[in-house]
Amino acid sequence: EIVLTQSPGTLSLSPGERATLSCRASQSVNNNYLAWYQQKPGQAPRLLIYPASSRAAGIPDRFSGSGSGTDFTLTISRLEPEDFAVYYCQQCGTSPYTFGQGTKLEIK
């Protein structure tokens, strides 16, 4: 099974700052099939990015994804108040389709 490790576990930033979230895979992700999701308390996750660098429908362009192989990054260029949430990466190419443990983005 591919293990995804997200870092940092918690990121404390202020609105307007830039956020960089990392997702590292224990082995190469097939065809860079990696997704990013955002989850707010009490809500279902929402798809942000797939595969690796393409924004899902309706996702603001301040969200961007990059990376390949085993190292992937989600960048939020200028944080808005509604961006503070938990972010998960998921590898979508090999069963079992594993998720990272999440990065909590909190207001500083």
Partner 1 sequence: QVQLVESGGGLVKPGGSLRLSCAASGFTFSDYYMSWIRQAPGKGLEWVSYISSSGSTIKYADSVKGRFTVSRDNAKNSLYLQMDSLRAEDTAVYYCGRDGLPAGLYFDHWGQGALVTVSS
Residue appearing with tokens 């990696």: 34
Q: What angle do CA 65, 10, 41 make, to 5 degrees?
A: 85
Contact characters 48-87, partner 1, x per CB under 8 A:
--xx----xx------------------------------
Stretch that binds partner 1, among 7-15, 18-26, 37-45, 75-83 (CB under 8 A): 37-45
Q: Which of 2, 20, 22, 33 binds partner 1 (CB under 8 A)?
A: 33
* Minimum CB distance to partner 1 smaller for 17 or for 106: 106
Residues that bind partner 1 (CB under 8 A): 30-31, 33, 35, 37, 43-47, 50-51, 56-57, 88, 90, 92-93, 95-102
